[in-house]
Structure 1
Amino acid sequence: MTLGFLVIKGPDRRRLQYLKTQAERQDNLRPAFERPDLVVMTTPATPVVDLANHAGLVVGHAFSSEAPYLPLDREKDAPRPDARWLTRHIWGAYVGIWWSADGGFHLLRDPIGTLPVYYRRDGETLIAASHVDIVRRLEGPALAIDWQGLHRHLFARDLKAERTALAGISELRPGFVLSWPSTTVSEAWSPWDFVDRSMALSAETRAEYLRQRILNCTAAWARPFSTVLAAVSGGLDSSIMAAALKVGGANWRAYTLATPRPDGDERAYARILARHLNVPLAEDLYSLSAIDIGRAASRDLPRPMGHPYGQARRASAQQFLSQFGGEVEFKGTGGDNVFCFTYSATPVVDRFRTEGLSSGVWDTLSDVADLTGATQFQVTRAAWRRHHQPTPYVWHGGHRFLTDNRLNIEPELTHPWLVTPKGALPGHALHISMLIRVQATLEGFSRYGGHPTIYPLMSQPVVEFCLSTPSWMWCRGGQNRALARAAFVPYLPQQILDRTSKAGPDSFCLDVVQANLAAIRPLLLDGVLVENGLLDRSRLDAALQIEHLNTSSDFVPLSLLVEAENWVRAWLA
């Protein structure tokens, strides 16, 4: 069963009790903590830890920040909890709750954001929950589509805003605190606090430290579950996760999915990995029969997320979980982001700004050339251009099927973590933007997946250590994610460690669009998104031709729009 919580805070005790009674009738929620002005409810699978003699709570999976990262127990000797103490002393998928001496109430979302926090203000009452449908089923204003919020999301879906696509529903950003009754949101954790420009640790020492953090974090995540199902492709990231499960002694099984076309078939690498780790491997193909093109897989979220083809992946995972008696799925998602996978010349700029015109700069220039296949002259020119640009990472949204008659939202494409401190390096700014980008895809305990999903490589201790690593160490020797490769040399076969190719489900995404084109055309051309002025019908019409789909990459944004259209219809139903 997945994690879930509901927090109701307000001065009207009768209303709180009324809402509590409503909640008890749905979603198997039960009271976990009560005060006259506060009710905290959770699902049976959700741990709750009382801190500092009722001065606060931690709701969800939380671990001590000291290796070996044991589950958080009652902290009798903890100081009065606050945001700094929580983010420095625990990590996991949790929300921290505490109340200050002045009567203020505070709610913290963990810095990685695996456990969602959605909230709304209903008069003098605050309602916050892990799932938006918990909020929806409580008495209050009906949830309506926020068309401008939806437009903003479609324009830059990988940069989540506090504003969702449902009117009145906000999402608390990872690492931020919501304070009540002021409804102010403040930063509690910043990736910039872990950036380190020093060269105190060698690459070899860093690889060893990284390995231990990944092993310990993966073991910590596996402990609460009797059986783990690991999604593996034979790529580096999922292989590192699988090796960590093996070393940690978890009870686990592996599965891999392949597309019917060869460009998305990685089973050969997955088999190499499974043989090396001596773990059973289940295999399946993405199947068109698992796709309901009129169904929104993300219907229980406050924004449309993902593609219709994801229905096939989730169906296979659920089948294998049932077959193996598994409780949870582990995925290597986030590895590219945490391990700073980039083809840019930014590492050259970082090293030049740190060391001057040293021999190390020339080594990194050569590494980037080997990694990208560019000449050293091309890399030098790109590095020179980046060196003379402003350090902050500039986010660019875009969607060619969106209409141009909406409010210009470019100024909204910002995030507190994109604000660079004085002296910051562009590589660190890039790395942090990657972290923001992957957080937009994490819905680890979302109900729409049917089962909880854990991303061990996105564990806070791993992320914090990787942020402290100079960008040029990640491309050392002309290999992407070089430090992560070096860290797992003792546990992975050479074919996996040397692998640089990547595959994915894009060809199946195209298959889904082509096979369902007759249904997709009226769905989008005569749909709610067009009717409400978000999409340009003429551009859609031109793109939704079989000849065009066969020769362009428009099937990817079109697939996203199918999910968005279905999501809107589900909420309007």
Structure 2
Amino acid sequence: MIVGPFFAFAWPRGQPLSPRLQRVIAIAEAAPDLCKLVDLPGFIFLGSASSSHVLIEGGGIVWGPLFDRRSSTFSIKAGDGELHAPAERFLRNFWGGYLALRSFGDGVEILRDPSGMVPCYIATVDGVELATSAPKLFFELGLLEAERDWTVVAQALTFRDLRPAQTALRGISELLPGMAAKVGRGATRAQATWTPWRFAAEQVEIDDFADAVGAVREAVLQVGRAWSRTAAVPIVELSGGLDSSIVTASLALAGSAPLCATFVPIAGDSDERDFARAVAKQFELELIELVLDPAIVDISRSDSSELPRPCARSFTQALDRPLQQLARSVGGDMFLGGGGGDNIFCHLQSTLPVVDLLRRRGLSAAALRSTMDVAEVADVTFWQALRSVAKRTLDREQKLPTPRRNRFMADSAVHDLPWPQGNPWLEPSVQVLPGKRRQIWGLISISNHLEGYGRQHVAPMCSPLLSQPVVETCLRIPTWLWFNHGQNRSVAREAFRGLLPNSILGRRSKGAFDTLAANVIRRNASRLRSMLLDGVLVRQGVADPAKISAAFERPLPDGRAIVDLLVLADVEAWVCAWGE
């Protein structure tokens, strides 16, 4: 979340507010970080006056940073009539990290920008639609009783990162990114006003490598200039990987001087500090090296305990707590990073880009070269890659992503479990190639990693690469162009050639925290075993105690099992935060 909390009430004009809601509004308005910014018939909006927002003349508010595509300075002009434009035109003219609430007819339209940087949770109480970024208010103000939806909990463990509109707490839904909901007479209806599939169509492709490089460079530098103006003391999480390095460069080239933070790895994980140091030196930025300490991880605590779905990862507490301390010590007012870069820059681990090229242009010398490029990225032989391409070409086209079922779930919990509902980005709205489909499914998964961090209580978080101009540009680039010369994310690498150190542009390794995650399990093995076997998920029939026991009877399990155990523990911690 990149802006302070808000609480909005929308209902058909002429309909009276219940005495209960009148009392709730009075109580909420008395809170130190909430004041009444909009008070119109059928529409009340509460938020901090110091948070970034634009009041719309004639009724409405844009909550969060908003940038004008039509202006070289991105600034919004007071009284701009386009702030009242229909949602699709609004999205063409503006971008940012915002939620737009605008009066129309006899009601209110709530539009969430495609980046998803501002959360929006909705509940219906006494005939009124309540929207907030702080869903705990629904319970603190006595509007809802916490009741967990075990179907959605099971979906979180089976269809990992595919967020449904319904949350894991009954009565609360989420207005997903790119969606608009209209509140007026009759039922509230939500529809997709922005969809990634629109930018995957053949007729809008940027199919020349040089053109793609120029477009990506322009888009990333544009959003860097805009975001650089939103923070006085920005902190960039600079791992030294390509994505965070590109974000750092875009901010520095815009004249910002962010404080960079990287991590001293624990023994066994790769040391990326030389890469981070090279980027910091290139732009003469200060780099702080923070120490990771697995001992501070509390596996029984969920940093998403105030949210209506389990989306926090406990091992990240080891990174989160030092960042909190750093921000407090220097007055940091925004965390920025390269989140979403792999997905946006099409870091696919498959031969699907070659399949895309074959379907678009047929068997050709370009397809063979692309096969060699993909083989080099995947570290396999040309013939292995070619066999994979042949198999994928003959396979039936995949209509939905493959579920990533947690191996410790009970079989009965996944039997007849429905797919997550209400996410319009899951199924293509246009004819699209299989590799591009996989790229967009990866884009969907990002939404589950935008919140649930303790540091958001200290300063907001921003992922510039999720900004609309960057996402739209990258989706228009065919998948095979991202693998030129045997390098993944090759368009992004080339876009920043001459701007970033060659050590970053040529880097093939990718940092991870596998040893950190394993260390968390080792340190907490006895507690974790008891927590899971005696936990709510087992009692509810979601987790299988026999599978959990077997994992602890052997030496430390493999990488995938470590991930699944920690995810199960994360969900257990969230479930317990909402009652036994």
Q: Secondary structure at the match of 2:428?
A: coil
Task: Confirm or deny: 8 A CA contact 2:304 2:453 kept in the other structure.
Answer: no
- Does 1:130 find its partner at 2:133? yes
Q: Secondary structure at the match of 1:440?
A: helix
Which residue matches 2:188?
183
- Does 1:85 find its partner at 2:89? yes
Letter in 1 for 2:509: S
Q: Which of 340, 359, 380 is the equivalent residue of 1:334?
A: 340
Q: What RMSD in Å do the two structures reach over aligned CA positions? A: 2.2
The superposition leaves residues 325-346 of structure 1 with CA deviations (integer Å, 9 ceiling, x where unpaired) of 2111111011100000012111
Task: Confirm or deny: 8 A CA contact 1:96 1:108 kept in the other structure.
Answer: yes
State the alpha-carbon separation in 1 of the partners of residues 113 and 452 from structure 2: 13
State the alpha-carbon separation in 2 of the partners of residues 188 and 451 from structure 1: 30
State the alpha-carbon separation in 1 of the partners of residues 243 and 78 from structure 2: 34
Deviation, structure 1 residue 538: 1.3
Kindly tell me: are residues 447 and 148 of structure 1, through their superposed partners in 2, closer, same or farther at Cα, counting changes over 3 Å?
Answer: farther
Letter in 2 for 1:124: G
Kindly tell me: are residues 293 and 440 of structure 1, through their superposed partners in 2, closer, same or farther at Cα, counting changes over 3 Å?
Answer: closer
Q: Which of 461, 467, 489 is the equivalent residue of 1:459?
A: 467
Q: Give the alignment's TM-score, normalised by structure 2.
A: 0.93
Task: Confirm or deny: 8 A CA contact 1:6 1:129 kept in the other structure.
Answer: yes
Which residue matches 1:19?
24
- Does 1:489 find its partner at 2:490? no
Which residue matches 1:424?
432
Deviation, structure 1 residue 25: 3.2
Letter in 1 for 2:425: W
Q: Which of 301, 312, 325 is the equivalent residue of 1:306?
A: 312
Deviation, structure 1 residue 6: 1.0
Q: Which of 284, 293, 296 is the equivalent residue of 1:290?
A: 296
Letter in 1 for 2:86: D
Letter in 2 for 1:372: A
Percent identical among aligned pairs is 32
Q: Secondary structure at the match of 2:288?
A: strand
Q: Which of 511, 526, 537 is the equivalent residue of 1:518?
A: 526
Task: Confirm or deny: 8 A CA contact 1:402 1:534 kept in the other structure.
Answer: yes
State the alpha-carbon separation in 1 of the partners of residues 556 and 459 from structure 2: 34
Which residue matches 2:158?
155
Deviation, structure 1 residue 238: 0.7
The superposition leaves residues 311-361 of structure 1 with CA deviations (integer Å, 9 ceiling, x where unpaired) of 121111112212322111111011100000012111112112222223322
Task: Confirm or deny: 8 A CA contact 1:210 1:465 kept in the other structure.
Answer: yes
Q: Secondary structure at the match of 2:384?
A: helix
Q: Secondary structure at the match of 1:44?
A: coil
State the alpha-carbon separation in 1 of the partners of residues 453 and 376 from structure 2: 40
Task: Confirm or deny: 8 A CA contact 1:393 1:426 kept in the other structure.
Answer: no
Query: Bigger shift: 180-189 or 412-421?
Result: 412-421
State the alpha-carbon separation in 1 of the partners of residues 190 and 71 from structure 2: 31
The superposition leaves residues 532-562 of structure 1 with CA deviations (integer Å, 9 ceiling, x where unpaired) of 21111111112134x4325564222211222
Q: Secondary structure at the match of 1:406?
A: helix
Q: Which of 112, 116, 123 is the equivalent residue of 1:113?
A: 116
State the alpha-carbon separation in 1 of the partners of residues 316 and 454 from structure 2: 14
State the alpha-carbon separation in 1 of the partners of residues 430 and 169 from structure 2: 37
Pairs aligned (count): 570
Kindly tell me: are residues 14 and 334 of structure 1, through their superposed partners in 2, closer, same or farther at Cα, counting changes over 3 Å?
Answer: same
1:137-536 aligned at under 5 Å gives the runs 137-181=140-184, 182-197=187-202, 202-388=208-394, 389-390=396-397, 392-406=399-413, 408=415, 411-413=418-420, 415-421=423-429, 423-443=431-451, 450-536=458-544
The superposition leaves residues 186-221 of structure 1 with CA deviations (integer Å, 9 ceiling, x where unpaired) of 111111222253566631222122112111202211
Deviation, structure 1 residue 449: 5.1
The superposition leaves residues 376-413 of structure 1 with CA deviations (integer Å, 9 ceiling, x where unpaired) of 33222222232232263433231111112236355414
Deviation, structure 1 residue 130: 0.9
State the alpha-carbon separation in 2 of the partners of residues 473 and 566 from structure 1: 42
Letter in 2 for 1:405: S
The superposition leaves residues 260-296 of structure 1 with CA deviations (integer Å, 9 ceiling, x where unpaired) of 1142321122122222222111112211332223322
Deviation, structure 1 residue 162: 0.7
Which residue matches 1:570?
577
Deviation, structure 1 residue 63: 1.0
State the alpha-carbon separation in 2 of the partners of residues 453 and 194 from structure 1: 26
State the alpha-carbon separation in 2 of the partners of residues 249 and 445 from structure 1: 28
State the alpha-carbon separation in 2 of the partners of residues 418 and 552 from structure 1: 28
Which residue matches 1:542?
550
Letter in 1 for 2:246: I
Q: Secondary structure at the match of 2:425?
A: helix
The superposition leaves residues 237-278 of structure 1 with CA deviations (integer Å, 9 ceiling, x where unpaired) of 111111111111113110101331142321122122222222
Deviation, structure 1 residue 60: 1.3
Deviation, structure 1 residue 169: 0.8
Q: Secondary structure at the match of 1:405?
A: helix
Gaps of 5+ in 2: none
Deviation, structure 1 residue 430: 1.4
Which residue matches 2:39?
34
Task: Confirm or deny: 8 A CA contact 1:445 1:453 kept in the other structure.
Answer: no
Deviation, structure 1 residue 374: 2.3
- Does 1:48 find its partner at 2:58? no
Deviation, structure 1 residue 74: 2.7
Kindly tell me: are residues 107 and 409 of structure 1, through their superposed partners in 2, closer, same or farther at Cα, counting changes over 3 Å?
Answer: farther
